[in-house]
Amino acid sequence: MPSSRRPSRFSRVVLDGPLFPFLMILPALIVLGLVIGLPILEALRLSFDTIALRRPAMAGTYGFHNYLKLFTDPRTYSALWLSCLYMAGTVVGSIILALTAALLTRRVVRFSGLTRLIFLLPWTVPAVVTALVWGVMYDGNFGVINRLIDFIPFIGGHNWLVERQTALASLIVAQVWNEFPMAYVFFLAGLKAIPDELYEAAAIDRANALQQFLFITLPQLRYIMAVIVILVMIMGFKSFPIIYILTGGGPAGATETLTILTYNTAFRSLDFSYAATLGILAVLASILLVLGYLKLLPRSGNEGTT
Amino acid sequence: MTAPSPGMSASPLALALRMSGIVVLGLMVLFPIYWMIVVALTPTGFGRQITTFLPQTITLDNFVSLFTARPMARWIGNSIIVATLSSALSLVFGVSCGYALSRLRFRGASLLLIAVLATQMMPATSIIVPLYMLFRSWGLLDTMQGMVAGHISLVVPLAIWMSKGFFDSIPRDLEHAARIDGCTHAGAFFFIALPLAAPGLAAIFIYGFVTSWHDFLFSHTLVTSQELWTAANGIASFRGEYFTLQEMQMAAALVFALPVVIVFFIMQRWIVSGALAGAVR
């Protein structure tokens, strides 16, 4: 290992001294600045400008008109509401599915690897593939879901992605299928951390399985549950390929969440300035979610000590 | 919901209930994957005519025509190039930052960590609009370089967080010893910490590769020429183009998903712990 016997001034200040941390973070800072910082600044600039195909002569007209539109356009509120519904649906669906799977497999002794792999598998499936598979299964005429639903009484077949009432829920199901394994992994870890003594004590007190679940398992999972809720919300809020490929925001805006509205405004309506404004709204909303997440982390921030 | 107690021998009935629960839930979860395989193996145009839940005639024609009638090989090649470059570059740019965040004290460290986390969690659609406009003026639209740059914005935050996690898990003693022997901070990083973190770096590279491989938004938006499409973009186009030909869609979806599934199973432990790094600690 090359140890410099006679440290030069450069080595003392830059490689070893007060400037070293900044040298280390510099490459990442430059890259992040170029591919994320600069676009955000450009988004801010765009949001005051008027870059839209329908008004080509207005370019360079700066003002607050995009923000005015943001607050007055009912589509904004509709998109925010749909994003909230989508997040709520994915949170509830993921937690029920993941918790059930985790409770069922937590103490499986034989084939434990196999059972876990089954519930992890959808995680490895790309979102694009998830969209295509569910698209085929949801097919209105001869889709396999409509054939399976025949086995269940009182629920008729639907053209799931085309009908207003079913489109959003159908997308949520596909999203939950794709991303519940993350929650599953967290729940398995959380269940593992619950001390066995708690259950033993409960067994001595003759608590039944339901009581054990309600009064030991659930309270003990409180923290991990909160983390999962926020992470699943963030993933649901960001979700793009599944919605875009399956419905593109349709039918008639019934699945146009904030991310889809942003994209459609830019690349279908070609109003880049307003799209940038919607993008800023989305960033602000995601910052709220991140702050919620950070509040949960017990020791957030820099733990570095040398 | 069953939450039996450990230490007590579960009754055979409870065990049977649990196993049947696993089987039912497992079948539900696996069904979409099973159905993808069934439809992909069905002759083109016959996917809608399957009346049972088994393939009626099995054929590999859909897979063959993917590569003969469609530029699937080219798209996969593009994906490999873009994913390799963006993941490797992100690692190069991100790893020293991850080390600094794990080991060094400096002003603004926690702010940087939060900012990196925030960039990872905001919707990519917010970035893509201004990025598109910037790339348009820089002439980077419809180029491989532009797509790699776009993917780097996805992978760098990940590389920083994950490498911080790996350095956190490596004992500092060796670096301390080297420092006492007169090694500089930079030397300790390059000659001690980096080699120790090598398996972790490999895992980060693969995770970044998979992230880029999966990406649809950037590939779909920044590139329009069909010969520059990535596989994600190519197979997604099948839904619009071959709306009626489900079999080809499913064959393409399988070909696209399979390498990642295989990699995942080989690296399962690392990937799961990597995904958890920074989340629960």
pLDDT digits (tens, 9 = 90+) for B2-54: 444 444 456 788 888 888 899 999 999 999 999 999 999 988 877 777 777 88
Rounded CA gap, A114 and A120, in Å?
10
Per-domain boundaries in chain B: 12-64, 66-276
pLDDT at B280 over 60: no
Mean pLDDT of A18-27: 85
CB-based contacts of B241, cutoff 8 Å, min separation 6? none
pLDDT digits (tens, 9 = 90+) for B48-61: 777 778 877 888 88
Mean pLDDT of B63-85: 91
CB < 8 Å from B in window 2-21 of A: 2-5, 7, 11, 14-16, 20-21
Among residues B71, B271, B113, the alpha carbon closest in space to that of A290 is found at: B113
CATH class of A72-296: mainly alpha
Q: Which residues of B touch A201 (CB under 8 A)?
A: none
Mean pLDDT of B57-80: 88
Q: Sorting pLDDT into bands at 50, 70 and 90, what band is A4?
A: very low
A258 touches chain B (CB under 8 A): yes
CB contact under 8 A, A24 and B100: yes
**Cα-only R_g, chain A:** 25
- Do the Cβ atoms of A27 and A21 come closer than 8 Å? no
- Do the Cβ atoms of B280 and A189 come closer than 8 Å? yes
CB contact under 8 A, A31 and B109: no
pLDDT digits (tens, 9 = 90+) for B106-127: 888 888 888 888 888 889 999 9
Residue in chain B closest to A33 (alpha carbons) equals: B153
Q: Which residues of A touch B181 (CB under 8 A)?
A: 1, 3
Q: Which residues of B touch A238 (CB under 8 A)?
A: 121-124
Mean pLDDT of B58-72: 86
The first and second tokens of residue A160, run together, are: 């799931």
Per-domain boundaries in chain A: 10-48, 72-296
Q: What integer pLDDT is reported at residue A300 of this predicted model? A: 42
Q: What integer pLDDT is reported at residue B180 of this predicted model? A: 84
Q: Sorting pLDDT into bands at 50, 70 and 90, what band is B135?
A: very high
Nearest residue, CB atoms, B122 vs list A20, A104, A282? A282
Q: Cβ atoms within 10 A of the Cβ of A153, count?
A: 7
Q: What integer pLDDT is reported at residue B129 of this predicted model? A: 93
Q: What integer pLDDT is reported at residue A298 of this predicted model? A: 63
Helix (H/G/I), strand (E/B), else coil: A157: coil
Query: Residue type at B52?
Result: T
Residue in the structure block whose two tokens are 């085929």: A136
CB contact under 8 A, B33 and A125: yes
Q: How far is A252 from chain B (nearest CA, A)?
A: 18
What share of chain A in percent tops pLDDT 90?
43
The first and second tokens of residue A40, run together, are: 């955000």
Q: What integer pLDDT is reported at residue B279 of this predicted model? A: 42
A275 touches chain B (CB under 8 A): yes
A119 touches chain B (CB under 8 A): yes
What share of chain A in percent tops pLDDT 70?
93
What pTM was estimated for this model as a whole? 0.88
CB contact under 8 A, B110 and A301: yes
CB contact under 8 A, B239 and A5: no
Residue in chain B closest to A292 (alpha carbons) equals: B118
Which residue would you say has higher pLDDT here, A300 or B216? B216
CB contact under 8 A, A27 and B96: yes
pLDDT at A1 over 50: no
pLDDT at A79 over 50: yes
Q: For A193-221, where are the alpha helices, taking DSSP H only?
A: 196-204, 209-212, 218-220
Which residue would you say has higher pLDDT here, B106 or B217? B217
Mean pLDDT of A260-283: 93
Q: What is the mean pLDDT of chain B?
A: 85
B269 touches chain A (CB under 8 A): no
Mean pLDDT of A296-305: 50
Among residues B281, B242, B278, the alpha carbon closest in space to that of B44 is found at: B242
Q: What is the mean pLDDT of chain A?
A: 86
pLDDT digits (tens, 9 = 90+) for A160-186: 888 888 899 999 999 999 999 999 999
Q: What integer pLDDT is reported at residue A261 of this predicted model? A: 95
CB contact under 8 A, B183 and A306: no
Which residue would you say has higher pLDDT here, A151 or A112? A151
Mean pLDDT of B92-100: 92
Q: Cβ atoms within 10 A of the Cβ of B270, count?
A: 19
Rounded CA gap, B121 and A235, in Å?
8
CB-based contacts of A146, cutoff 8 Å, min separation 6? A139, A140, A157, A158
Mean pLDDT of B243-262: 86
CB contact under 8 A, B36 and A240: no
What CATH fold (topology level) applies to the domain B66-276? Answer: MetI-like fold (1.10.3720)
The first and second tokens of residue A273, run together, are: 């300035």
Residue in the structure block whose two tokens are 């399988």: B254
Q: What integer pLDDT is reported at residue B10 of this predicted model? A: 64
Q: What integer pLDDT is reported at residue B243 of this predicted model? A: 60
Q: Which residues of A touch B127 (CB under 8 A)?
A: 36, 39-40, 43, 279
Q: What integer pLDDT is reported at residue A11 of this predicted model? A: 72
Q: Cβ atoms within 10 A of the Cβ of B117, count?
A: 19
CB contact under 8 A, B184 and A142: no
Which residue would you say has higher pLDDT here, B75 or A156? B75
Mean pLDDT of B212-234: 92
Residue in chain A closest to B276 (alpha carbons) equals: A186
CB contact under 8 A, A217 and B3: yes
CB-based contacts of A33, cutoff 8 Å, min separation 6? none
Q: For B104-197, where are the alpha helices, taking DSSP H only?
A: 109-121, 124-138, 144-169, 173-180, 185-188, 194-196
pLDDT digits (tens, 9 = 90+) for A187-242: 988 888 888 888 888 888 888 888 888 888 888 888 889 889 999 999 999 999 99
Q: What integer pLDDT is reported at residue A299 of this predicted model? A: 52
Q: Sorting pLDDT into bands at 50, 70 and 90, what band is A88?
A: very high
